[in-house]
Amino acid sequence: MKISFLLHNAYGIGGTITTTFNLAQALADRHEVEIVSVLRHRERPNFALDPRVSLRPLVDLRHEKEHPLHLRPARVFPAAEYRYGQYSELTDQRIGECLAQTDAEVVIGTRPGLNVHLARQAPEHVVRIGQEHLTLDNHSPRLRTALRRAYRRLDVLTTVTEADAASYRRKMRLPGVRVEALPNSVPDPVLPAADGTAKVIVAAGRLVPVKRYDLLIEAFAPVAAAHPDWRLRIYGKGEEQARLRQLIEDLGLSDHAFLMGAAAPMEAEWVKGSIGATAANFEPFGMTIVEAMRCGLPVVSTDCPYGPGEIIEDGTDGRLVPVGDREAMSAALLELVRDDERRRRMGRRALENARRFGPVPVVEQAERLIDEAMAARGTARRGAPERGRIQRALVSQGFAARDAAYAVASGALHTVRKGNR
């Protein structure tokens, strides 16, 4: 079957892009897969993409930033969504046309605003799967209201943790919509796992306030004082870079803690370390935690909502400490720094326990959700390829995309009105 992902900007850097690329590449083993990037701002993506996965943008900001329609506010993309300012009448139009003309049997949205487009504009024969990479509690009441109305038209809604899936079922009450957790996947490692001998702590992610790299650096100061041969390497870029560099200097850690800049892929950097670390206040999943564990590193993490507690087994393959507790973070790091055997044993368990986030188990779960959604459609799925061909033909002849979608879905072809695309 053909599966299409609808992504905000495949040419940027971020966890949603990474996990979308990972899942698309894993699905490409058995399916035809494409990624539709609403926006494009550079020639090539930052992350390598399997050549079996096709990538096409809808709006190229290098040439269309001043397009008259791009200067007008979006009407379909919800105004309460975080990315609303980057959307416009032009993106509304291009997304609508893309969905109306799609030959995919399954379309997967990857953020709330795009899920709204999918729910409202996808042809009836398409299986509609909305992904949530943030938690429900992270959404404003205004956005929740918009999502509650639109999400009722989805077939499946996935979250990245079981806790968040339960929250959606309890608070959103979406009749007829299957809500399940589908964790992010990390590709199988290519390099040999870390052996736990390197005296290096590794952290990675966007340098933004919520990630609390300032707390991690402060927690590392006692480690460096007691064990001056250990180093902290932080990979990533972002608005906090200058402030963090100044903090490192103020704490006298210039020879011990380093801002390494962005690195992609990160696997080659993880395996150079012996401990992974994250001090975030909020983490919907914890992609870097899984990446580190898949490279054989035990991870010291704050026990923030929702992801870390579903990934790390405290005391077995890593450590969980209270959010914002600098002393607890420092003590957990020192515990692993001082005990070579414990650190290596936990690293081996991390490698083993993180296999559940590999491509095979995650793809098997995704395929099961797709198959069951298609089966639930029953007769609605029959004739889908033919309806898709008719709809694309109508649009190519100049019929309005929404009219073509309605006519094909309802079978009332005689109601189609010719109009502007």
List pLDDT tens digits, range 52-71: 999 999 999 999 999 999 99
Q: What is the pLDDT of residue 385?
A: 52
Rounded Cα gap, residues 182 and 160, in angstroms: 5
Q: What is the mean pLDDT of the chain?
A: 90
170 C-beta neighbours (distance < 10 Å), count: 10
Contact 294, 186 (CB under 8 A): yes
294 C-beta neighbours (distance < 10 Å), count: 23
Q: Terminal CA-to-CA distance of the chain, rounded, Å?
A: 28
Rounded Cα gap, residues 178 and 212, in angstroms: 35
Read off the pLDDT of residues 297-331 as tens digits, 9 standing for 90 and up: 999 999 998 899 999 999 999 999 999 999 999 99
Q: What is the pLDDT of residue 13?
A: 81
Task: Please give the radius of gyration of the chain, using alpha carbons only, rounded to the nearest integer.
Answer: 23
Rounded Cα gap, residues 259 and 411, in angstroms: 59
pLDDT band per the 50, 70, 90 thresholds, residue 390: low
pLDDT band per the 50, 70, 90 thresholds, residue 394: low
342 C-beta neighbours (distance < 10 Å), count: 14
CA proximity to 387, closest of 370, 411, 418, 416: 411
Length, in residues, of the chain: 421
Residue spans in the chain of domains classed CATH 3.40.50.2000:
2-185+360-382, 200-357
Token pair 């943790």 is at which residue? 161
**256, two tokens:** 């011990």
Token pair 């009105």 is at which residue? 417
Tell me, which fold does domain 2-185+360-382 have in CATH? Rossmann fold (3.40.50)
Q: What is the pLDDT of residue 408?
A: 44
> Alpha carbon 172 to chain centroid distance?
21
Question: What is the identity of the amino acid at 67?
Answer: H
Rounded Cα gap, residues 339 and 325, in angstroms: 22
Rounded Cα gap, residues 170 and 381, in angstroms: 29
pLDDT of 402 higher than 90: no
200-357 maps to CATH 3.40.50.2000: yes
Q: What is the pLDDT of residue 405?
A: 45
Read off the pLDDT of residues 323-338 as tens digits, 9 standing for 90 and up: 999 999 999 999 999 9
**83, two tokens:** 């990315």
pLDDT band per the 50, 70, 90 thresholds, residue 264: confident
**257, two tokens:** 């803690």
- Residue 377 DSSP symbol: H
Contact 20, 110 (CB under 8 A): yes
Mean pLDDT throughout 238-259?
97
66 C-beta neighbours (distance < 10 Å), count: 8
